[in-house]
Amino acid sequence: MSRNRVVLFLIAVFALALFVGCGSSDDSSDSGSSSSDETTTASSCKPGDLNTFKDGVLTIGTDSPAYPPYFEDDDPTNGKGFESALGYAIAGELGFNDSQVEWATVPFDASYRPGPKDFDFDLNQISITPDREKAVSFSVPYYTANQAVLVKKGSDLDGITSLDELKDASIGVQVGTTSLDAVEDQIQPDNDPKIFNNSNDVVTAFKQGQVDAIVVDLPTAIYLRDAELSGTVVAGQFEQEGGDQWGALMTKDSDLKECVDKAIDTLKENGTLEEITNQWMSDSAKAPMLS
């Protein structure tokens, strides 16, 4: 082989090696870029990247009928009521507009049964409990139930503005509850509260005039006022550690949990959740805060 041919041969070999090397480098770079993109997509909370029950739609479950103050006019779609407003607020944080939100009817007891769900998350005053967490996943809490004071309309306790005004009252409460702790820790009445074995006995004592007021969690007080004890008012509500916490319920280990958590945390940080809670769980529920 002539010297010129040897030189040309070596140049060709070198060029081929360079091409192969560059090709390998490009492949590696492309692979790395793809992996990075996949990571970004996996952690993205944009509608197009979320694994929702229906493509491009956020499906929220709740029971039917849907009662106030959580929903108004038995219509979750109108955005009125605590959990209706919250549902649309979460959807907005996830990038869905109102027209991209659908509501599904989900019986309360069916919501936390094991297995797949035909909704993305459920808002239905569902308390987060260890037993339920075995079958489903919950978001971070969006509400912690306050304690409330239920009294007869027109009584001396109707219109109170502070816990101090309950010092002389005869208060009924159920044994072993957060409500009992709240009475003893915060109200500290002059007379020992009257303690009953169950909620039915508390209600009966109130009906019979054995107590001036009963202390229960706020959701229960609202239910009693609106459904069982006519002629009563929620004189007010107050905070107490240990109240039931509600969360958005999802399929066990749902891909959406991280994004729903982020949405709720953002609503807490920017004050939106507090505004929604005050509007629907205090003002519209006619349950003012007691100082």
Taking only the tens of pLDDT, the chain with its 291 residues reads 443 443 334 334 344 343 334 343 344 334 343 333 333 334 689 999 999 999 999 999 999 999 999 999 999 999 999 999 999 999 999 999 999 999 999 999 999 999 999 999 999 999 999 999 999 999 999 999 999 999 999 999 999 999 999 999 999 999 999 999 999 999 999 999 999 999 999 999 999 999 999 999 999 999 999 999 999 999 999 999 999 999 999 999 999 999 999 999 999 999 999 999 999 999 999 999 998
Identify the CATH number of the domain defined by range 147-238.
3.40.190.10
**Highest CATH level, class, for 47-144+246-283:** alpha beta
Spatial separation of the C-alpha atoms in residues 56 and 267, rounded to whole Å: 22
Pick the closest to residue 286 from 209, 221, 197 (CA basis).
Answer: 221
Dihedral, 231, 237, 241, 246 alpha carbons, nearest 10: 70
Is residue 171 within 8 A of residue 187, CB to CB? The reply is: yes
**Which amino acid is located at 3 in the chain?**
R
Where does CATH 3.40.190.10 sit in the chain? 47-144+246-283, 147-238
**pTM score above 0.85:** no
Q: Which residues of 72-100 are buried (b: 16+ CB within 10 A; e: fewer)?
A: beeebeebbbbbbbbbbbbbbbbbbeeee
